């Protein structure tokens, strides 16, 4: 009997030494809970602005092309809120060193750098970086990263323009459908204004996809980087692109406003253009101050 007790005591002592902490927790250690915490890089003044350009070149990213998509994307790295400011391509503006013209001509006249300077002169916001993609590059990006899911409020059918034939509702858009969606303008009453707003919506859908993938597998950021560097032209080094990617992965699409500049239709000489309305000034000011919309 004494032997059994001795064995039992020895066993209990051994088990207690090996697994002293297994068992139900009384849950009193609330101070151990951090919830969610994030730390990311902080660019100048806690804001970063990226000019996203879509040119009309069917292949490559030549300087001498027109900008069909012009979006200034901002992120406030403190609040993790952001904004997409969409510029209708026919906006009549002053192009630095090149007189007046449609904003999309700035790309033709002086490449992405001049377009960035033009956006700066119009808004007072200097883009930190620019990224430019053409038709082929855009489709190659979508082919490499996979379809982007979007919810369309109504069907889009534009057989003679963009070639879009999209049903209403939530659906994945592959390379061809994505390009058709972001190009469609003729079937909308407000034409290019609706198109540029849709392009902003597409960027938000892209952000949603990006975040979903990063959440599941953080290293997929490296793939997105490779794809971007392969198919787009940009003035962002690998290190900064990585940091921008990390930053973007921490911004919720719901916290990103998609705003198109208020414009009115008019003419400049024989050209049909749009004029940016005075109300845009408050948008620029807010965007410049907060990095968000």
Partner 1 sequence: MQGRRRGIAGALAALLLGVACSHTTGSAGDGTPVAMPPSAPVIEQAEWRISAHPSGNIGPMSKRELRRVRAESLPLRRAVTEVYDALFLDPAARPAVLNKRFAARAARALPARSGVPASVEKVRTTLRKADIGIDASGARRAAAKVKIRARGIASGERFALLHRGTLWLEKKGGTWKIMAFDVRQKRLR
By CB under 8 A, residue 144 contacts partner 1:
yes
Question: Among positive and negative, which fits the CA dihedral 231, 237, 242, 244?
Answer: negative
- The answer to the question of residue 246 lying near partner 1 (CB under 8 A) is yes
**Which CB atom, from 10 or from 168, has the smaller least distance to partner 1?**
10
Q: Which is nearer to partner 1, 195 or 231 (CB)?
A: 231
Q: Does 1 bind partner 1 (CB under 8 A)?
A: no
Q: Could you say which DSSP state residue 189 is in?
A: T
Of the ranges 31-39, 46-54, 165-173, 184-192, which one interacts with partner 1 (CB under 8 A)? 31-39
Rounded Cα distance, 201 and 18, in Å: 57
Query: Please, which residue, 149 or 220, has the CB nearer to partner 1?
Result: 220
Least distance between partner 1 and beta carbon 210 (Å): 13
Position among 220, 253, 284, 290 found at the interface with partner 1 (CB under 8 A): 220
Which residue from 90, 243, 251, 293 is in contact with partner 1, where contact means CB under 8 A? 243
Interaction between residue 25 and partner 1 (CB under 8 A): yes
Beta bridge pairs of residue 95 = none
Binding positions for partner 1, 37-76, rule CB under 8 A? 37-42
Residue 29 binds partner 1, judged by CB under 8 A = yes
79 makes contact with partner 1 (CB under 8 A)? no
Q: Which long-range contacts (CB under 8 A, 24 or more apart) does 179-187 make?
A: 179/135, 179/138, 179/139, 179/142, 181/150, 181/152, 181/156, 182/54, 182/69, 182/138, 183/68, 184/156, 184/158, 185/161, 186/158, 186/160, 186/161, 186/162, 187/156, 187/157, 187/158, 187/161
Q: Answer whether 156's CB lies under 8 Å from 166's CB.
A: yes
Which CB atom, from 4 or from 170, has the smaller least distance to partner 1? 4
17 makes contact with partner 1 (CB under 8 A): yes
What is the distance between the alpha carbons of residues 257 and 203, in angstroms, rounded to a whole number? 11
Q: State the Cα–Cα distance between residues 29 and 20, nearest whole angstrom.
A: 17
166 forms beta bridges with: 156
**Which residues of this chain interact with partner 1, rule CB under 8 A?**
3, 6-7, 9-11, 13-15, 17-42, 144, 214, 217-223, 225-227, 230, 238-239, 242-243, 246-247, 249-250
């Amino acid at each position: 009997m004494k032997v059994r007790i001795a064995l039992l005591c020895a066993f209990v002592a051994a088990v207690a030494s090996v697994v002293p902490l297994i068992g139900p927790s009384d849950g009193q250690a609330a101070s151990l809970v951090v919830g969610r915490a994030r730390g990311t890089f902080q660019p100048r003044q806690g804001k970063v602005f990226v000019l996203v350009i879509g040119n009309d070149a069917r292949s490559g990213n030549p300087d001498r092309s027109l900008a069909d998509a012009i979006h200034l994307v901002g992120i406030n790295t403190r609040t993790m809120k952001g904004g997409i400011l969409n510029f209708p391509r026919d906006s009549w503006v002053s192009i630095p060193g090149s007189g007046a013209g449609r904003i999309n001509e700035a790309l033709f006249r002086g490449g992405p750098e001049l377009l960035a300077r033009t956006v700066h002169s119009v808004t007072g916001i200097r883009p930190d970086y620019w990224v430019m993609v053409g038709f082929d590059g855009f489709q190659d990006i979508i082919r490499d990263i996979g379809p982007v899911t979007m919810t369309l409020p109504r069907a889009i059918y534009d057989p003679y323009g963009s070639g879009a034939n999209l049903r209403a509702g939530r659906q994945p858009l592959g390379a061809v459908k994505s390009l058709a969606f972001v190009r469609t303008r003729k079937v909308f009453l407000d034409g290019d204004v609706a198109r540029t707003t849709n392009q902003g919506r597409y960027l938000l859908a892209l952000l949603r996809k990006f975040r979903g993938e990063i959440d599941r597998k953080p290293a997929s950021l490296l793939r997105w980087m490779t794809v971007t560097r392969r198919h787009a032209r940009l003035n962002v080094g690998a290190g900064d692109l990585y940091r921008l990617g990390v930053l973007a992965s921490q911004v919720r699409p719901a916290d990103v406003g998609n705003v198109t500049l208020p414009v009115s239709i008019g003419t400049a000489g024989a050209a049909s253009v749009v004029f940016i309305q005075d109300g845009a000034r408050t948008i620029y000011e807010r965007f410049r101050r907060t990095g968000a919309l």
